[in-house]
Amino acid sequence: MSTAQQIVLSLLNDPPSEWSVATWSCFSIPLVSLAALLGIYLRSLHIGNRIPGPPSDSLLSGNYPEYRRKAGANRNVSAFYEWLHEKYGPVARYWLGPSSLWISFSDPAAVKDVLQNAAERPPMMKQLLQFLGEDNQTFKKQEFARPHRTVLLQHLASPKALLRLGAVARSVAEKTAAAWSVYAEQGLKVDLSAELTAAAAEVMTQGLFGEPFERLSAEDKEGFVKHLAVAADGATKWSTKVVTPFWNSGYRAAAQSSTRSPAACSRTAAPGTSPT
């Protein structure tokens, strides 16, 4: 008879008391929680070890202190990304907490692969365009969403809208990749910030409103570009989060791109509709 069978028989012959069951439950729950957190951390560590990047300042803060120092008082993180890629190459990673692992791309070829892969999976494209991401406060907290809900958010609530967004994103990604190939042939430098801002604006306007970006008024174009610049957190490089942070709300707040949609979204909507 195996050890497991002996344990089962002993429990059947002598059932544990309610007190012992409660004791073991209270003891096992923290262990299971600790094991789950350890699993998340080890998974993040495994991914992070495969990509070059700076060592963490500490287990809990990661590279967040250096991130803040480079950003400075005006919170412009361009300096951090420039330092990161100058030292660690075109694809580099950094930590904003024990499991908040970020990967930054400064190579147009790598960014092109990210865009094309994301376009094949609409939910991933939604997350990649961080101002539409699940971690945005507009989607995460209903009490915040109610006063700021716009026509844009109503469109995103529909599964059909997400599929349409994915189809448009695929088309825009292919168009952007083709343009970058021409730039490479001509020896021109690619401005990732400007290119990705334009691509994201095209996805927004076509996917949600059926209106090409070029047809918008100058005022609406300016509103979208400003909003997307905030969404990129002022960075000149492109980042995508690959591990969901869990430890500290401060790290999540640093990763969030924006907290509301611009008025341009409402003005671009079909006539007769208005924000709720």
Phi and psi torsions of 232, nearest 5°:
-85, 0
Output the pLDDT for position 276. Answer: 30
Indicate if the pLDDT at residue 76 is higher than 70. Answer: no
Indicate if the pLDDT at residue 222 is higher than 60. Answer: yes
Summary mean pLDDT of the chain: 60
Q: 233-243: per-residue pLDDT in tens?
A: 433 333 434 33
Output the pLDDT for position 275. Answer: 31
Beta bridge partners of 95: 101
Contacts for 43-48 with beta carbons within 8 Å, 24 or more apart?
A: 43/99, 43/243, 44/98, 44/99, 44/101, 44/243, 47/93, 47/101, 47/242, 47/243, 48/93, 48/95, 48/101
Indicate if the pLDDT at residue 176 is higher than 60. Answer: yes
Output the pLDDT for position 13. Answer: 55
Indicate if the pLDDT at residue 251 is higher than 50. Answer: no
Terminal Cα distance for the chain, rounded: 68
Q: Is the pTM of this model over 0.75?
A: no
Q: Enter the tokens of residue 174.
A: 């292919």
23-27, 51-55, 110-114: least confidently modelled range? 23-27
Q: How far is CA 147 from CA 83, 106, 144, 257, in A?
A: 40, 37, 6, 19
Crossing angle between the packed helical segments 108-119 and 192-209, to the nearest 10 degrees:
10
> Which value, to the nearest 10 degrees, does the dihedral of the CA atoms of residues 208, 214, 220, 226 take?
90
Output the pLDDT for position 81. Answer: 77
Q: Tell me what percent of the residues of the chain surpass a pLDDT of 90.
A: 0
Q: What is d(CA 147, CA 150) in angstroms, rounded to the nearest whole number?
A: 9
143-147, 197-201, 216-220: least confidently modelled range? 143-147
Indicate if the pLDDT at residue 32 is higher than 60. Answer: yes
Helix, strand, coil shares, percent, the chain, to 5: 65, 5, 30
pLDDT band at 262 (very low <50, low <70, confident <90, very high): very low
Question: Do residues 196 and 104 touch, judged by C-beta distance below 8 A?
Answer: no
